[in-house]
Every structure is written in C-alpha cells, then in structure tokens.
Copies of this chain bind each other. A is one copy, B any other.
C-alpha cells in the first residue's frame, strides 16, 4: 500500500482499539468495577483478540509490546470513557454500534492480512481475522461472567467471517491489497449494519434435553 493508505489504515486501527476499549469500559461500569477493572476490561476487549492471534501465528512480537500507542489509547479511553459514559445521552443510539462495526471490519482485515504475511493458508487467515475481531469481546464477557454475546446474538462474527473470506478471496484472485481491503471491510460493514438495522439473526440451534 502507499504511505497515505498505510497511515489511514493505522489510524483506523487505533480508532477501532478505542471503540473496542470503550465497550469494555461500559461493561465495567455495569458491573461496578474499580479503576483497575475498567482498564483491564478495556484492554482485554481491545487487544485480547490480536494477542491470541499473534501467539497462534507465532508473530515475532505481540503487536502492542512494540508499539506503545495501543496501550496509551486504552489508558486514555479508560480514563475519558468513564466521564463520557456518565454524560447525559446526546449521541443517537446507532453511533456506537456503527463505530463497533467499523472496528470489527478493520480488525478482521488486519488479522487476516497478518496471517497471510506469515505464510498461512487462506482458511487460517479467515480464522485469524475472526479471532482478531471477536476474541477480545469474548474474554470481556467471560470476565464479566456472561455467556459471550457473539455466540448467541444477531449476526456479528458472521460479518467478520464474510469480510475475511472476501478479503482473502480477492487477494487470491489477484486483486491489489487496497481493493481487497476496501471490498473486505465493505462486506463486514454492510452485513453488520444490515443486521443492526433489521435485527437479523442466524437461526438458533436449541436442544430440549
């Protein structure tokens, strides 16, 4: 990618980190945690998925240990987020889910791209995209003693799977990285936005015993 695109990509990544961290802050507030709990839930939500991905693909270094901006964004979000969360509501309700969908889209591409960079197959790249996008939120939910939302709720992880398949498929067809990124992110964003707008869900699998 060109330098300008890389800069946009990097800032999008940090934006996604802040959005995910804020969802951890909200959960911590619902559970009446102290300041340390707020930071931990913000951190595991924002960088938990990428950490698991880096461990599994055997990255030379886990990403946030060599670029301290991730930790600073999390700390800043944990501090500022506590005040923002207490403000009387002014943002329309759909702003946060949309920002979260954007974070999901960018995290998915980053995860899939990194797996390909390390030489893994397209199938593993899709899995790594999903892990990067949803594992952090799953750890947040487990720490909060809830069944992870993504296992039950409306289409969320599925949007990440779709984005990952489009991205790796586009690259396999010989498209430029930039185009594949735009297509992949669009896939996640459109499906996730549609799911939010029309409350789409996958069928539930229920056993009665």
- CB 8 Å contact bits of A26-43 with B (1 = contact, 0 = none): 101111111111101100
Q: Tell me if A76 counts as interface (CB < 8 A to partner B).
A: no
Q: Which residues of B contact A85 (CB under 8 A)?
A: 207
Copies of this chain in its oligomeric complex: 3
Q: Which residues of B contact A31 (CB under 8 A)?
A: 147, 151-152
Judge whether B152 and A148 touch: CB under 8 Å.
Answer: no
Q: Which of A14-22, A50-58, A164-172, A178-186 contacts B (4 or more CB under 8 A)?
A: A50-58
Residue ranges of A at the interface with B (Cβ–Cβ < 8 Å): 25-26, 28-38, 40-41, 51, 55-58, 60-62, 65, 68, 71, 82, 85-86, 120-121, 123-124, 127, 138, 142-148, 150-153, 156-158, 161, 201-207, 209
Judge whether A145 and B146 touch: CB under 8 Å.
Answer: yes
Judge whether A203 and B35 touch: CB under 8 Å.
Answer: yes
Judge whether A65 and B57 touch: CB under 8 Å.
Answer: yes
Tell me the smallest distance from the CB of A69 to a CB of chain B, in Å.
11
Partner of A33, one of B29, B61, B152: B152
Judge whether A143 and B152 touch: CB under 8 Å.
Answer: no
Partner of A71, one of B127, B204, B206: B127
